[in-house]
Amino acid sequence: MSDFKVPTTDMKFALHSVLDYHTHCASLPCADDVTRDVVEAILEEAAKFAENELAPLNAVGDAEGCTLQDGVVTTPQGFKQAYQRFVEAGWPSMCHRSEYGGQGLPESLGTLLSEMSGTANWAWAMYPGLSHGAMRTLDLHGTEDQKNTYLKKLVSGDWTGTMCLTESHCGTDLGMLRTKAEPRGDGSYTISGTKIFISAGEHDLAENIVHIVLARLPGAPPGTKGISLFIVPKFLTDASGEVGERNGVNCGAIEHKMGIHGNATCVLNFDGATGYLVGQENRGLNCMFTFMNAARIGTAIQGLAHAELGYQKSLAYAKERLQMRSLSGDKNPEGPADPIIVHPDVRRMLLTQKAFAEGGRMLLYYCAMLMDTEEHASDKDEKAEAETLLALLTPIAKAFLTEVGFESANLGLQCFGGHGYINEWGVEQNVRDARIAMLYEGTTGIQALDLLGRKVLMTQGESLKRFTKIIHKFCEAHDAAEFAEFVEPLAAINREWGDITLHVGMAALNDPEEVGAASVDYLMYSGYVTLAYFWCRAAVASRGDDIETGLADSKIKTARFYFQRILPRTRALVDTIKSGAGNLMAHELSEF
């Protein structure tokens, strides 16, 4: 079996050949010196770290897990040393502003780093990953004092961060949260309550942890309109800004999980802890959405990571494992049987994983480039366009890629047969680790309601039209005969996307339950169409003069597989969307 290898060839193809990343960087004031050579140097060094430092710890973290003793969490063997080397190499600071110690590079480069480290070892990657969202939140909503005190240490990697939302009685429905914040009169607050499912909530990797916490002030309005946001550090700071006395926040337990054992998922007790308000009172959820949206893209990366890892493991196994003979004649006449990769059903599974991993990579890099534009573009219209497109594509990327990432992880296990069900190969770990991604940052159902209800219907379809117009123009520009097998079905389903949206919108005028009834199928439909667009772009890009022949042929063949074997799933989704809410809502409660 081969070890994990960063798919640098495909990453470069997606960046340079499909998405014209160099031109994108040249348009950004923070990245006009980010040449192709710079990007590939970063890729090379990050790949070494992922392959040599993180991948060997993936099975270790799964086997050992984290331990809690006397309130202290110890991470698996090697995790702390890997994090120290991560910090020493300057990786945490890469995509943050120079005034707070960052290197000022675009966010999209951080996406590449997250993909590589996450595919190598998702449980480890969550520790710096949660810090990233905390940094973005403080950068946008914190005061200058807060940025100087906390952001600089987070950017350097000396400290890490978390997001503390969920409580035992409220998961997605944050309007029900009970954690309290009492003003002390000196600008600080007393924070009391318990949060659960806090990833990286306590650990031994860094000297301090900065918790970003949702809580409710006295007399605050009920529901989500009465939530405020607070910084609650594990250790308070002294006059020089260094670690001081322990704050009143402690780990009460580590959750015993199905997967990602190497990451400490904690119950955190806030016992009169000192906190500091971020942003305005009762506007905390608005600020937290900065964190949550970044985390949703991060979770989409998790879907890609598990698809890629599953593909790499099952591909290597399928080339080596001998079972049965090819129906069209022996392919390994000197051996007792043929390698299973010759069998059509194994190829179906491998190509499904490949199509989702490589297609998902293009989608995520496109989203990352939109994040760059939204943050750095000088033209207001360009920023607004990027914001609208990103708002539409974020729930698609998060929910669709985690769903198909889990499917791909399962297909990887299936390729191994019975060997996949035992832990020595690592494919059953990949399945267990992948399962949480469909729950993180809002379940698939929540993302689907956000997409169909908020992003599409509440804008009268305008946000969707922005994207379908891009697809339409692409199809018009590439109507040559050599691309017809991809462009023509893409153009047709792009029109249908608008038609099916109108159908649901009209049905919802008579019964609002139609939105919830259609939402998940609508999101999956949207995901398949979106990936069809990127596979069409890949097919066109593969005809470029600088594309190696073997890579070009592989892209065309994988695009053909996607259009002929995966995209037809939308036919069933159209039927289920149009079937309406009646078949879901007809039962009385007593009939269940």
Task: Report which of 150, 312, 177 is spatially closest to residue 237, judged by C-alpha positions.
Answer: 150
Three-state DSSP at 592 gives coil
Asked if residues 570 and 525 have their Cβ atoms less than 8 Å apart, the reply is: yes
Task: Report which of 315, 248, 321 is spatially closest to residue 71, judged by C-alpha positions.
Answer: 248
Distance separating alpha carbons of residues 62 and 65, to the nearest angstrom: 6
Asked if residues 105 and 95 have their Cβ atoms less than 8 Å apart, the reply is: yes
Asked if residues 57 and 122 have their Cβ atoms less than 8 Å apart, the reply is: no
| β-bridge pairing 208-215 and 159-164 | parallel
5, two tokens: 């290898």
Asked if residues 93 and 57 have their Cβ atoms less than 8 Å apart, the reply is: no
Asked if residues 368 and 31 have their Cβ atoms less than 8 Å apart, the reply is: no
* CB burial readout 268-295, b (16+ within 10 A) else e: bbbeebbbbbbbeebbbbebbebbbbbb
Q: H helices within 377-483, ranges in order?
A: 380-416, 427-435, 444-449, 462-477
User: 156: burial class by Cβ within 10 Å (0-12, 13-18, 19+)?
Assistant: middle
Q: What are the Cα distances from residue 168, in Å, to 193, 197, 268, 286, 396?
A: 11, 9, 11, 22, 27
What contacts 174, CB < 8 A, 6 or more positions away?
165, 214, 224, 227, 285
Asked if residues 476 and 490 have their Cβ atoms less than 8 Å apart, the reply is: no
Distance separating alpha carbons of residues 55 and 570, to the nearest angstrom: 36
The residues annotated with a catalytic role in the active site are: 441
Asked if residues 413 and 428 have their Cβ atoms less than 8 Å apart, the reply is: yes
Distance separating alpha carbons of residues 479 and 473, to the nearest angstrom: 10
Angle (CA) 24-303-536 rounded to 5° is 50
Asked if residues 258 and 250 have their Cβ atoms less than 8 Å apart, the reply is: no
415, two tokens: 């390729």
Kindly state the greatest CA–CA separation across the chain: 83
